[in-house]
Amino acid sequence: MPDHITIAVTKGDRIVAQQLALLAQLGIEPHDDLTKSRKLVFTTSREDVSLLLLRGSDVATYVEHGIADLGMAGKDVLLEHGEQGYYQPLDLKLGQCRIMVAGLQDEAPLPGRLKIATKFVRTAKQYYAERGIQVDIIKLYGAMELAPVTGLAHRIVDIVETGNTLKANGLVAMEHICDVSTRLIVNKTAMKIKYGIINALIEQLRQAVD
Ligand code: PRP
């Protein structure tokens, strides 16, 4: 619909609350509690705005295909998605953390070719390729910290926020790959055909972030 805006937000209790706090500053408040409801589509206090609740990587896909006009997703997820098919006009500065290389604190001498466990396969591949270092990437879906501890991999590429998870598992952060935060993404076609309303929302969000 030309005068309707769909915004995809990323699932996760804490990050949802932060995204909703930002949207509330724009007068956009869902009629249901996103953290409790089983719904995936939410109407809001603004008749012309609805929300979709999705995993971060699906936020990018829905925005790329124009089902959602706007989306909020972590830079880590966007890097893995390939950052294609949408604009990224704004850093929402939520969920700030880093993607780091980490390894065992008491690391044994390493072989020439490292095994790297990560769920950020694309980011890890690019990081090592840019440095001309050949590695074997092992794709994991969670609990990356276990990989060096058990000998599955020599090092991991993972999100570090407080560093507590690394520390609790005898690991240390070794190399900084990039900073991560939640970004606003916008479908390219929607930006053209709904320019007025989308641009107004971007400017309101920019002020809310600042
Ligand atoms: C991330 C990451 C670490 C943890 C780091 O996991 O994979 O396990 O956070 O945070 P810290 O430095 O504050 O200890 P997340 O909680 O996002 O869940 P995940 O297992 O889905 O990646």
Domain boundaries, the chain: 5-95+181-209, 97-178
Strands 135-139 and 114-118: parallel
pLDDT at 193: 96
Question: What superfamily in CATH does domain 97-178 come from?
Answer: Periplasmic binding protein-like II (3.40.190.10)
CATH architecture entry for 5-95+181-209? 3-Layer(aba) Sandwich (3.40)
pTM of the predicted structure, to 2 decimals = 0.93
Nearest CA to ligand 1 atom 15: 159
Is 158 touching ligand 1 by the criterion CB < 6 Å? Answer: yes
Taking the C-alpha atoms of residue 71 and residue 48, their distance in angstroms, rounded to an integer, is 16
Evaluate if residue 2 carries a pLDDT over 80: no
Ligand 1 atom at shortest distance from the alpha carbon of 119: 22
Pocket test for ligand 1, best of 18, 98, 159, 166 (most atoms within 8 A of CB): 159
Q: Is the dihedral of CA 202, 60, 130, 150 positive or negative?
A: positive
Q: Which of 137, 21, 37 is nearest to 72 (CA)?
A: 21
Q: Express each pLDDT in 170-196 by its tens digit.
A: 999 999 999 999 999 999 999 999 999
Q: Express each pLDDT in 117-173 by its tens digit.
A: 999 999 999 999 999 999 999 999 999 999 999 999 999 999 999 999 999 999 999
- The strand order across the sheet containing 5-10 reads 41-43, 49-54, 5-10, 70-74, 182-187, 86-91
Sequence-ordered alpha helix ranges (H) in the chain: 13-24, 56-64, 75-81, 121-130, 146-150, 164-168, 188-193, 195-209
Q: Residue range 69-90: average pLDDT?
A: 96
Ligand 1 atom at shortest distance from the alpha carbon of 142: 20
Q: Express each pLDDT in 13-35 by its tens digit.
A: 889 999 999 999 999 999 999 98
Nearest CA to ligand 1 atom 1: 159
Q: Residue range 78-97: average pLDDT?
A: 95
Asked if the domains 5-95+181-209 and 97-178 are classified in one and the same CATH topology, the answer is yes
Nearest CA to ligand 1 atom 3: 159
Rounded to the nearest whole angstrom, what is the distance from the C-alpha of residue 66 to the centroid of ligand 1? 30
Rounded to the nearest whole angstrom, what is the distance from the C-alpha of residue 58 to the centroid of ligand 1? 19
pLDDT at 114: 97
Evaluate if residue 91 carries a pLDDT over 80: yes
